[in-house]
Each structure stands twice: as structure tokens, then as C-alpha cells.
């Protein structure tokens, strides 16, 4: 394993990577210059969804993680959380953000690598996530600096018992605690306005009026963190090689993969808009490369879907994968089904309204 969390969530890229779909284990470089590897190390697939930003995800309101919500707090579950690994999820995790950190290392595409490359990849391929976590914990505590830091951070761990008592839960909790602190952002002009410390400019006031009024943005992007924490189908164009759904397995049915309910097809979690100008690309798969394009999609989603400019899709080229990237989008039946699931109605805004909105 030679891929870190920062490979896809880099602080200098707004805690993302500037790509529509990330390149994990096997790739080289960082950000928009990242490639898909060469020779035997060439990746088998890209990560099928855009790397979500990390800003404010340590807030107690964020009990659900991932675009499809496959991790969420559940006090009735022995671990305290629902997750893809069900009863295999270890107990003692502090927050959904820590739970989220448990999963990229178990993914062949993201961090583990392919079977035969290393012992972690072999365990991941066999579906033995507990063994993945055990192997990684052993690697971490074998590094003296990390070993000392774990002992300092956790009173129940000492030099005498670290080899038996330290688990990946301690590592995930530490990652979650770091992310929650390092990427807390609560001193924006919006925050200062709410605290009565500043007044908006005339342009900002107009944008705020549009956002909370006839633009209908706050119907989903509401509250301090500007999200309703729910799932909606917006008809974002499908790009990349998908999540195993639909035509040739190249589509992505979103929330339906978690609930099994066809009514949830193409629904994805409403993202927080905090630091939204910094956290592109936009959409669950990074289909839009400007915030203005993402806003315009909301204003007329069917038209935007049907007239999508595929040249804006920032996808690291791969000789095997790139020919597959637009297959679902170009399939009329698939695109019609996606358009039919759209849950938001068109909104009439002038170009000047959009400009004020983006200023806000």
C-alpha cells in the first residue's frame, strides 16, 4: 500500500484532488497530474465517485457518510453504526467520520491494491476486512514514532499491551479527530454575518435573497451547514465506469445500492455547501468542473443532462478505461431513465441572478 488519505483528500486541493474520479492504488503523482500507473501496476479501475471534501464533517450533525449514505450512526447496532461490513465493524468508534476512515484501506481500487500484490490486498480480495485492519495496525505500530503517538493518545494503551490491544479503531479515531479539527471551517463571512459581526454587501444580500427565496436553494441546502442531510435525484450525468449497475455494470444507482429500494435509484446525499467554491469538482461523480455549471444544472436539470459537455470531465486517461467513460451517458435508455428520476423542478434565474448567487 503506497496511497495515503491525502492522495485523494489533499489540503491544497480543497481536501479533494481536482479530479472527477480519483485514482487510488497503482497511480502516480498528485492532484490533476495523477496518472493511472504503468505496466503491471496499471490500475484496474478509478474510484467510481468523486472524493468528498472533509470540511466540517466532524460536526455532530453529520451522522451519515459517503455519497450514498452507506455509513450512518445507529445506536441499535452493536458497533453503534450501520456500515457495509455489518457485524464485522469493530466497536469503539467515536464518530461516523472515524467509521468512514475504516473503509478506503479495504478497497482494492482505493488503497489495498489487487490480489497477489500484498497481504492486505489478498485479505481485501477475500472479503476479510477484519484481517485487513489487523495487518494495517501491525504495520503502524511497528513504526516507533506512531507507536509512541498511540501510547500518548490513548491512556488504555501502554508499551506493555500495545501489540495486543491496539486496533485499527484507535487509528481511525485518530484520523477522524484530525479531520474534524484540521478542517473545521466556521469563520466565513456567512458565519460572521450570522454572528452579527459584519454586514453583507449589496451584491451578497441579493445573492442571499435568491438563495433563500425564489432560487429555492435552501429547500435542500438549509441550516448552518447548508444541507438537509437527505438524498435526492438531480440527474447528474453518469461518467466513468460506474458502480456495477445498469448497462454493462457501468451505471451508478446511488442510494438504491444501500437500501435496495428502486425508489432510491439515482439519489445521492445533499452535500454541505460550506467552502463550496473550494471543493470542486462538483456532483457525486465530479461531472461539472465549474460551480457555475453545477448551479445551472440545478436550474434546468433535464436540459443540462441532455446537453452535457463531456470535455469538462477531468478523468485521468487510461487506455482500457477511457473508452468506457461515456457509454452510459451516450445510451439513450439509460439517460432517459436518469432524467425520469429527477426530483427537482426547473427554476428561472437570469444570468445576473446567477452572478449574485455565486457572489453570495
- Read off the C-alpha cell for 94: 467515536
Query: In 213-331, which residue ranges form alpha helices assigned H by DSSP?
Result: 256-259, 291-299, 301-306, 327-330
Residues near 336 by beta carbon (within 8 Å), at least 6 away in sequence: none
- Read off the C-alpha cell for 107: 478497497
| pLDDT tier at 123, thresholds 50, 70, 90 | very high
Q: Looking at residues 192-205, what average pLDDT do you find?
A: 93
Q: Looking at residues 308-319, what average pLDDT do you find?
A: 97
pLDDT 10s digits, 111-120: 999 999 999 9
Right CATH for 189-359 from 1.10.760.10, 3.30.70.330, 1.20.120.420, 3.40.50.1000: 1.10.760.10
| pLDDT tier at 50, thresholds 50, 70, 90 | very high
DSSP secondary structure string for all residues of 13-32: GTTB-SSSS---TT-BSSGG
Q: Looking at residues 241-267, what average pLDDT do you find?
A: 98
pLDDT score recorded for residue 274: 92
Q: Percent helix, strand and coil across the chain, each rounded to 5?
A: 45, 5, 50
pTM greater than 0.85: yes
Residues near 140 by beta carbon (within 8 Å), at least 6 away in sequence: 146, 147, 150, 171
pLDDT score recorded for residue 360: 79
Q: Helix (H, G, I), strand (E, B), or coil: what is residue 328?
A: helix
| pLDDT tier at 74, thresholds 50, 70, 90 | very high
Residue 232 has phi, psi (to 5 degrees) of -140, 150
Q: Where are the domains of the chain?
A: 57-182, 189-359
Q: What is the rounded CA–CA span in Å between residue 114 and residue 97? A: 26
| pLDDT tier at 2, thresholds 50, 70, 90 | confident
Q: Looking at residues 160-179, what average pLDDT do you find?
A: 97
Residue 251 has phi, psi (to 5 degrees) of -95, 175
Residue 297 has phi, psi (to 5 degrees) of -60, -45
pLDDT score recorded for residue 1: 58
Amino acid at each position: 500500500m503506497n496511497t495515503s488519505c491525502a492522495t485523494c483528500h489533499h489540503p491544497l486541493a480543497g481536501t479533494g484532488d481536482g479530479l472527477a474520479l480519483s485514482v487510488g492504488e497503482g497511480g502516480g503523482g498528485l492532484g490533476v497530474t495523477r496518472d493511472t500507473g504503468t505496466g503491471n501496476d496499471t490500475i484496474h479501475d478509478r474510484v467510481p465517485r468523486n472524493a468528498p471534501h472533509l470540511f466540517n464533517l466532524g460536526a455532530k450533525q453529520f451522522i451519515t457518510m459517503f455519497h450514498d449514505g452507506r455509513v450512518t450512526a445507529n445506536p441499535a447496532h452493536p458497533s453503534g453504526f450501520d456500515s457495509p461490513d455489518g457485524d464485522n465493524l469493530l466497536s469503539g468508534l467515536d464518530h461516523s467520520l472515524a467509521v468512514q476512515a475504516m473503509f478506503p484501506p479495504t478497497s482494492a481500487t482505493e488503497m489495498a491494491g489487487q490480489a497477489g500484490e500484498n497481504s492486505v490486498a489478498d485479505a481485501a480480495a477475500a472479503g476479510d476486512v477484519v484481517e485487513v485492519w489487523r495487518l494495517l495496525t501491525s504495520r503502524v505500530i511497528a513504526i516507533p514514532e506512531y507507536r509512541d503517538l498511540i501510547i500518548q493518545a490513548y491512556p488504555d494503551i501502554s508499551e506493555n499491551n500495545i501489540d495486543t490491544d491496539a486496533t485499527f479503531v484507535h487509528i481511525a479515531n485518530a484520523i477522524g479527530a484530525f479531520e474534524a479539527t484540521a478542517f473545521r471551517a466556521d469563520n466565513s463571512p456567512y458565519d460572521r454575518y450570522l454572528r452579527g459581526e459584519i454586514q453583507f454587501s449589496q451584491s451578497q444580500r441579493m445573492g442571499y435573497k435568491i438563495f433563500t427565496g425564489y432560487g429555492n436553494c435552501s429547500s435542500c441546502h438549509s441550516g448552518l451547514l447548508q444541507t438537509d442531510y437527505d438524498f435526492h435525484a438531480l440527474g447528474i450525468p453518469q461518467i466513468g465506469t460506474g458502480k456495477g449497475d445498469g448497462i454493462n455494470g457501468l451505471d451508478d444507482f446511488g442510494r438504491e445500492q444501500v437500501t435496495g429500494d428502486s425508489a432510491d435509484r439515482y439519489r445521492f446525499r445533499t452535500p454541505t455547501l460550506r467552502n463550496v467554491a473550494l471543493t470542486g469538482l462538483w456532483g457525486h461523480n465530479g461531472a461539472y468542473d465549474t460551480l457555475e455549471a453545477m448551479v445551472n444544472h440545478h436550474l434546468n436539470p433535464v436540459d443540462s443532462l441532455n446537453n452535457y459537455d463531456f470535455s469538462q470531465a477531468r478523468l485521468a486517461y487510461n487506455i482500457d478505461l477511457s473508452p468506457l467513460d461515456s457509454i452510459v451517458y451516450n445510451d439513450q435508455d439509460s439517460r432517459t431513465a436518469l432524467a425520469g428520476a429527477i426530483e427537482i423542478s426547473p427554476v428561472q434565474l437570469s444570468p445576473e441572478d446567477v452572478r449574485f448567487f455565486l457572489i453570495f
